[in-house]
Structure 1
Amino acid sequence: MTLLNSNFDALRDWDNQHFVHPWEGMSDIGANERTFTEGGEGIYVTTEKGERLIDGPAGMWCVQVGYGNTEIADAMAKQAKEMAYFSPFNNTNSTPAKLGREIARRTPGDLNRVFFTTGGSTAVDTALRFVQFRNNVLGRPEKKMVISRQKAYHGSTYLAASVSGKERDKGWMDQATHLTHFLPNVNPYVRSAGQSVDDFLEEKIADLENAILTLGADKVAAFIAEPILCSGGVIVPPKGYHKRCLEICHKHDVLYISDEVVTGFGRLGHWFASEEVFDIVPDIITCAKGMTSGYAPMGACIISDRLIDSVSGAHSQDAVFSNGFTYSGHPVSAAAALKNMEIIEREGILEHVRKVAPVFEARLKSLGDLPLVDDTRGQGLVGCVECVADASADNTLDVEKSIGAMIDAHCQENGLILRPIIGMCVFSPPLIISEDQIHQMFDILEDGIRKTTDDLTRQGVEIK
């Protein structure tokens, strides 16, 4: 790898001086010591030091078929040579047309209208703008409120961020608060002492219906939900939650948006999780990430025929849905997505995920016996280990913030990258991971947790 011979001290200076990263901490800007990941093969990435590490988060929940896939690279190069770009405002192209058809073949119900975007945030923004647009065309300009959940994450563009419920992301940023309403946390882990999961489920369903009734069904336009709340800590709602929520929404003429930016394209062993895993056919699905396995930026907002029909043709009032992007349906990204889908289908990757998921879930659950671990949760090939030291200490949050980073550091020394979020270790490996590699990943993670426990004990932190 030629870059291993590069001067990484200079590159790190350039990175700190010129590359403003997502979620950049202003107190640390210009002084970060980020790892350079300079190569990749299969489930592994290679750092600037030549370290070969299992990529536990699969990039950012997205590298489904693994790194170094020459088929995708070749498909992108071929498309770039033939037609690198077209204006989606004025023309069309065969590659995104084929991709739209392939996606529609795999979506539930009548979700057949694919609006291509640049990523997950713009897919969610498009969904919300379409909901607003539709109600305007239907003569219901007051029906604009969107209900979401605490801990939900839907993106970082203005509207997508406004319906995201991760509290620490909101401290210094403005949101369209007049358009949003948040329901309490749906994580069974935080239910009241002595409360059964069934009773907790009833409480969460009541949260939604009470909010619609209180706000007014004539004011509430949509409910947006992730099948699994991934960035919020891999929160798996109680069984039956999504189906019950969909029934409440349709009872009150509220649209149901399923945000499958993480769960779509195989993370739970199916093209889309909404119907196959959670038994719902939403009104709108958003997706991105695994759509191209991270080889090129792309997302999509998939809208049902029923919704499109309600504001088109004789019902259109000659309205124009004036939403779109220079790179909507970008042909090189579309070529990457088409080849990615071909590989997933040809190699039986969805079936593979369903086969190895029980091994993944069993190893995840076994970590719950470790002293530092307070909860383990996950489904398919996405999981979270939540670690808590002394929950009664005055500096609990400071300790929790350090725990995830400490575990990640120990794991990286032994060949595994995690995604630390406060005291949570989140991981979603490439879908091609084998059973042996799953065991290796969890062996490293378990060792990292044990070493962190020892570190905290030496620091005088009481382990609960």
Structure 2
Amino acid sequence: MNYLDKEMQNVWQKDKDHHIHPWTDFSSFNETGAMILSGGDKAHVTDGAGKRYLDGIGGLWCVNIGYGRQEIAQAMADQVMKIPYYSAFGHHTTQPAAELSAKLAELAPGDLNHVFYGCGGSVANDTAVRMVHFYFNQLGKPSKKKIISRIDGYHGSTYMAMSITGVKFDHIGFDIEEELVHHISCPNPYRRPVEQSLEDFCDEKIQELEDKILELGPDNVAMFFAEPIMGAGGVIVPPPGYHKRTLDVCHKYDILYISDEVVTAFGRLGHMFASEDEFGIIPDIITCAKGLTSGYIPLGATIISDRIYDVINKPQAEGALFTHGYTYSGHPVSCAVALKNIEILERENICDHVKEMGGYFEEQLHTLSDLSIVGDVRGKKFMICIENVANKETKELIDNKAKVGNRIADYCEDKGLLVRPLAHMNILSPPLILTKENIDFLVSTLRNAIESTISDLKEEGFL
């Protein structure tokens, strides 16, 4: 860290000595420490040494309106001076919590009119589980407890949310709940057999869901978790019709469908919510976070239908309460930020911008397909994954020891671009305000990084 001045070197050392980072590779962290991010403006961030980067990650899928929004800072300050916090337990509320709940009910599809708040996506999904279990208990169906989700689906890292998560790499060394949670295979069209049509592949996945329900017993299955596009599992876009058909199967067996829109909501695909507008479904529950506040402050929400609310809003016994919630449920400062964030998204027509520039983003990234290791470029709008392979015909992966995703990310970082490495893949989820010039820089930088990586891999015998 010799490039840092004395103050930043001190910060770097404190962080390395005392800050436990999420998803840390301790094999390298104890030596390299962390990059210090000290500033941000629009779609760029600045490190502790003053170097500027185009943020191709959007913080972590979430800085949708970009950095440095004075309106957000003012909304925070104004609310702090009015009332910074009050418990939402029982019969108390604040104006931002009430206003945001009404706004989310207006934006959400169908009759999803009731909102419960937590502090992030993991908690939103944990809340969904508890609510669904409570719902079926109230209906006199206490055996309906089991959860079905998908391999490579990501739903968070609290104990239950990580159990629902199907990314097996994330389970290494940790315990998960294996009695309640059951996984079906990932609907990844790129990895289907060469001879199998997209339609047959979709049929197979739908049948697998129904078979799993029948195996577990419909009276035992309570809910199905699905991201509209699977994010951290590799930006997997299921085949056409998949979502509608999985919803139909769930409702056939009185199973609630939970659409995890922690990543896809608030503009990333060009809609406030993607479930209906992009994929034509109205789920029973939507969970969201990230873009809800554009990452400016923690907030998550679990949005439920009238059907569910009309059951859970009745006492289960005389004097009984709905005993679920958090100290910071409906935090007024977080809710005020979310309201201002949504106001900006609407006022600046950011969803329309995403539809226009997101199309250009997709188109330009697909030009990388001519590179020898780029096997698949997939995703929608500002949510894209590049999957790198050793052989395009067989789709054979490059040896894990090559750390191809990290190599590409490192080359990009050197040239002023941040992209996310994920094993042999690189993921792009930038702020939604990218300009054509930003996109051109991103794609050309990524091309150069992949070309440099190909050269290294050949020289080292990985290709």
**Taking structure 1 as the reference length, what is the TM-score of the superposition?**
0.95
How far, CA to CA, are the matches of 1:275 and 1:307 in structure 2? 19
Q: Percent identity?
A: 48
- The 1:6/1:294 distance shift into structure 2, 3 A limit, reads farther
How far, CA to CA, are the matches of 1:220 and 1:69 in structure 2? 45
Partners of 1:137 and 1:317 within 8 A in 2: no
How far, CA to CA, are the matches of 1:432 and 1:393 in structure 2? 36
Aligned 1:373-388 pairs, distance under 5 A: 373-388=374-389
Q: Which moved more, 1:361-370 or 1:263-272?
A: 361-370
Residue of structure 2 in register with 1:334 after alignment: 335
Residue of structure 1 in register with 2:55 after alignment: 55
Residue 147 of structure 2 aligns to a residue whose secondary structure is strand
How far, CA to CA, are the matches of 2:39 and 2:387 in structure 1? 30
| Residue 81 of structure 2 corresponds to residue 81 of structure 1 | yes
1:302 Cα shift? Answer: 0.3
Residue of structure 1 in register with 2:399 after alignment: 396
- The 1:8/1:209 distance shift into structure 2, 3 A limit, reads same
- The 1:211/1:421 distance shift into structure 2, 3 A limit, reads same
Partners of 1:257 and 1:282 within 8 A in 2: yes
Partners of 1:367 and 1:373 within 8 A in 2: yes
How far, CA to CA, are the matches of 1:389 and 1:409 in structure 2? 19
Aligned 1:299-378 pairs, distance under 5 A: 299-313=300-314, 319-378=320-379
Q: Tell me the alpha carbon deviations over residues 95-133 of structure 1, each in whole angstroms, 9 at most, x when there is no partner.
A: 111011111110000001000110000000000110111
- The 1:8/1:276 distance shift into structure 2, 3 A limit, reads same
1:27 Cα shift? Answer: 3.8
1:141 Cα shift? Answer: 1.5
Report the AA paired with residue 95 of structure 1: P
- The 1:318/1:221 distance shift into structure 2, 3 A limit, reads farther
1:147 Cα shift? Answer: 0.4
Q: Tell me the alpha carbon deviations over residues 211-260 of structure 1, each in whole angstroms, 9 at most, x when there is no partner.
A: 11111100000000000000001000001110000001001100000000
Report the AA paired with residue 19 of structure 2: F
1:389 Cα shift? Answer: 2.7
Residue 296 of structure 1 aligns to a residue whose secondary structure is coil
Aligned 1:120-159 pairs, distance under 5 A: 120-159=121-160
Partners of 1:137 and 1:319 within 8 A in 2: no
- The 1:217/1:389 distance shift into structure 2, 3 A limit, reads same
Residue of structure 1 in register with 2:440 after alignment: 439
How far, CA to CA, are the matches of 2:143 and 2:121 in structure 1? 27
- The 1:140/1:32 distance shift into structure 2, 3 A limit, reads farther
- The 1:34/1:389 distance shift into structure 2, 3 A limit, reads farther
Residue of structure 1 in register with 2:272 after alignment: 271
Residue of structure 1 in register with 2:17 after alignment: 17
Partners of 1:130 and 1:321 within 8 A in 2: no
Residue 129 of structure 1 aligns to a residue whose secondary structure is helix
Report the AA paired with residue 42 of structure 1: K
How far, CA to CA, are the matches of 1:324 and 1:44 in structure 2? 36
Q: Tell me the alpha carbon deviations over residues 242-291 of structure 1, each in whole angstroms, 9 at most, x when there is no partner.
A: 00000010011000000000001110000000000000000000000000
How far, CA to CA, are the matches of 1:392 and 1:381 in structure 2? 25
Q: Which moved more, 1:438-447 or 1:37-46?
A: 438-447
Report the AA paired with residue 23 of structure 2: W
Residue of structure 2 in register with 1:101 after alignment: 102
How far, CA to CA, are the matches of 2:229 and 2:240 in structure 1? 11
1:368 Cα shift? Answer: 1.5
Report the AA paired with residue 461 of structure 2: G
How far, CA to CA, are the matches of 2:397 and 2:302 in structure 1? 45
How far, CA to CA, are the matches of 2:397 and 2:285 in structure 1? 44
1:193 Cα shift? Answer: 2.3
| Residue 439 of structure 2 corresponds to residue 459 of structure 1 | no
Partners of 2:63 and 2:291 within 8 A in 1: yes
| Residue 72 of structure 2 corresponds to residue 69 of structure 1 | no
How far, CA to CA, are the matches of 2:29 and 2:244 in structure 1? 44
- The 1:326/1:433 distance shift into structure 2, 3 A limit, reads same
Aligned 1:221-260 pairs, distance under 5 A: 221-260=222-261
Q: Tell me the alpha carbon deviations over residues 304-342 of structure 1, each in whole angstroms, 9 at most, x when there is no partner.
A: 011111233488776532111111111111111011000
1:8 Cα shift? Answer: 2.2
1:78 Cα shift? Answer: 0.9
Residue 172 of structure 1 aligns to a residue whose secondary structure is coil
Residue 11 of structure 2 aligns to a residue whose secondary structure is helix
How far, CA to CA, are the matches of 1:284 and 1:215 in structure 2? 22
- The 1:194/1:335 distance shift into structure 2, 3 A limit, reads same
Residue 384 of structure 2 aligns to a residue whose secondary structure is strand
How far, CA to CA, are the matches of 2:395 and 2:302 in structure 1? 44
Report the AA paired with residue 222 of structure 1: M
Partners of 2:133 and 2:145 within 8 A in 1: yes
Report the AA paired with residue 267 of structure 1: R
Report the AA paired with residue 248 of structure 1: V
Partners of 1:364 and 1:377 within 8 A in 2: no
Partners of 1:138 and 1:311 within 8 A in 2: no
Q: Which moved more, 1:162-171 or 1:81-90?
A: 81-90
Partners of 1:85 and 1:331 within 8 A in 2: yes
- The 1:314/1:30 distance shift into structure 2, 3 A limit, reads closer
1:29 Cα shift? Answer: 5.1
- Segments of 5+ residues of structure 2 without an aligned counterpart are none
Report the AA paired with residue 127 of structure 1: A
Aligned-CA RMSD value: 1.7
Partners of 2:389 and 2:398 within 8 A in 1: no
How far, CA to CA, are the matches of 1:9 and 1:411 in structure 2? 23
- Segments of 5+ residues of structure 1 without an aligned counterpart are none
Q: Which moved more, 1:18-27 or 1:274-283?
A: 18-27
Residue of structure 2 in register with 1:202 after alignment: 203
Residue of structure 2 in register with 1:110 after alignment: 111
